[in-house]
Homo-oligomer: A and B are copies of this chain.
Amino acid sequence: MCMKRMLISGNEAVAYGAIDAGCRFYAGYPITPSSEIMHMMAKLLPEHGGVFIQAEDELAAINMLIGASWAGLKAMTATSGPGFSLMQEGIGYAVMTETPLVVVDVMRAGPATGQATKAAQGDLMQARWGRHGDQYLVVLAPESPQEAYDLIIEAFNISESLRTPVVFLSDEFIGHGREVVFRKDPEEIQLVERRRPSDHEPLFGSDDPRIPPPMPRLGDGYYVLVTGSTHNEYGYRDVHSFETHYRLVKRLKEKIWGNIDKIFKYEVVGDPEGAEKAVVCFGSTCRSAKEAIEGMDDVVLIRLITLWPLNYDLLRKLLSNVSLILVPELSLGQLIYDVQQVVDSDVKVIGVNKVGGGVPIYPSEIKEALKG
């Protein structure tokens, strides 16, 4: 084992992780607090035989990724709130066409332009639901620069193995915070590559919806038909029939939800059986939360690393013994909806909400709130 120790920001960690994951295409548009990812990719990609392009806007960026992905490269972009909003239509197209790619959203305080340099976690629901129609994708969130590095590799692996866009929710604290990060040795990293088709396998359908269809590269001679309109398993557009549409969207949903066991990552601190109280959190906020509950035997902390698909059953089980649940969020409260959904009305669910000014939620605030 030969890890490389570095003092880098979470944004830089994302870039290194992407390179190590085999990402060879980046298109993006500058926006605070994500730009350092772009700067680092601009530097690294040409050296690594990859392609970097600064797009004219975020609409172009996300669509360039789609083209590059179909041409065979692993592709990533990074942005923040306003740019993420502009990318929604393109992300939906990637869902529909099963185009693997990774979109990093380094969250800042919104809505609109809000506070560009201040951390927030208010894009959670948008990451899940920001696009029109029935669409499902994967949302991951790291808690630290080190995890940003490790998890972005995982993001590419999920994206490639499931042929799906993955949204990677970082935030300004992680993005601009510099910490010691260990970069893995290439041999240590397990990479998953998209499956190439054999023979006349359909490219847009499969008997088992949990198994994504294979994906050729453009130019491989498959005469691929890629379309964001409703299509059958061979890619032919069918904008008329119920069966084709329903089969397609059901399969796309099932592809994500049916693989929840593989996708769903979380961390439990403490003993869910014995605990009376729980803290449910995601992202950088969890680090304060973890400090807060140190030494508290009656509290269990559940950190969601995968935010979508969400394993509701598991969450329900983990929370089945507690009577008080704290949900600290750097927003007015979004994850709290999930918690409310899995517990019965007699459980007290309290949000610890704070956003703006680049002020984190402090351990003391969580401690205080845990008093009930």
- Give A residues with C-beta under 8 Å from B: 59, 80-82, 84-86, 88-89, 92-93, 95-97, 105, 107, 109-118, 120, 122-123, 125-126, 128-135, 227-230, 239-246, 249-250, 252-253, 316, 331-332, 337, 340-341, 344-345, 354-359
Selected from B242, B250, B345, the residue in CB contact (under 8 A) with A332 is B250
> Contacts A95-B111, A132-B123, A245-B355 given: A341-B332 contact, CB under 8 Å?
no
Contact A114 B345, CB 8 Å, known A92-B85, A242-B356, A332-B134: no
Pairwise interchain contact A126-B130, C-beta atoms closer than 8 A:
yes
- Most chain B CB neighbours (cut-off 10 Å) among A105, A115, A117, A344: A115
Q: Which of A107, A128, A135 has the most CB of B within 10 A?
A: A135
Residues of B within 8 A of A252 (CB): 111
**What residues of chain B lie closer than 8 Å to A332, measured between beta carbons?**
134, 249-250, 253
* Complex alpha-carbon distance, A245 and B115, angstroms: 8
In the complex, the count of this chain's copies comes to 2
A81 touches B133 (CB 8 A): yes
Q: Are B115 and A132 in contact (CB under 8 A)?
A: no
Contact A114 B359 (CB under 8 A): no
- Which residues on the B side are within 8 Å of A242 (C-beta)? 354, 356-359
A115 adjacent to B229 (CB under 8 Å): yes
Partner of A131, one of B107, B126, B253: B126
Which B residue's beta carbon lies closest to that of A228? B112
* Distance (whole angstroms) from the CB of A329 to the closest CB of chain B: 10
A80-B132, A109-B230, A246-B357 provided; 11 other pairs, C-beta below 8 A?
A86-B88, A96-B110, A96-B111, A109-B133, A111-B249, A120-B133, A126-B129, A126-B132, A129-B130, A241-B357, A344-B344
A109: nearest residue on chain B (CB-CB)?
A: B245
Given contacts A81-B133, A249-B356, A357-B242, whether A95 and B112 have CB atoms under 8 Å apart is yes
Q: How far is the CA of A81 from the CA of B229 in the complex (A)?
A: 12
Chain B residues whose CB sits within 8 angstroms of the CB of A345 once the complex forms: 316, 344
Say whether B109 contacts A122, CB under 8 Å.
no
Chain B's nearest CB lies how many Å from the CB of A345? 6
Chain B residue with the shortest CB-CB distance to A320: B345
Q: Is the Cβ of A85 less than 8 Å from the Cβ of B89?
A: yes
Kindly report which residue of chain B lies nearest to residue A331, judged by CB atoms.
B134
Interface contact B92-A239, CB-CB below 8 Å? no
| Across-interface contacts of A227 in B (CB, < 8 A) | 113
Do A88 and B130 touch (CB < 8 A)?
yes
Check A132 against B82 for contact (C-beta < 8 Å): yes
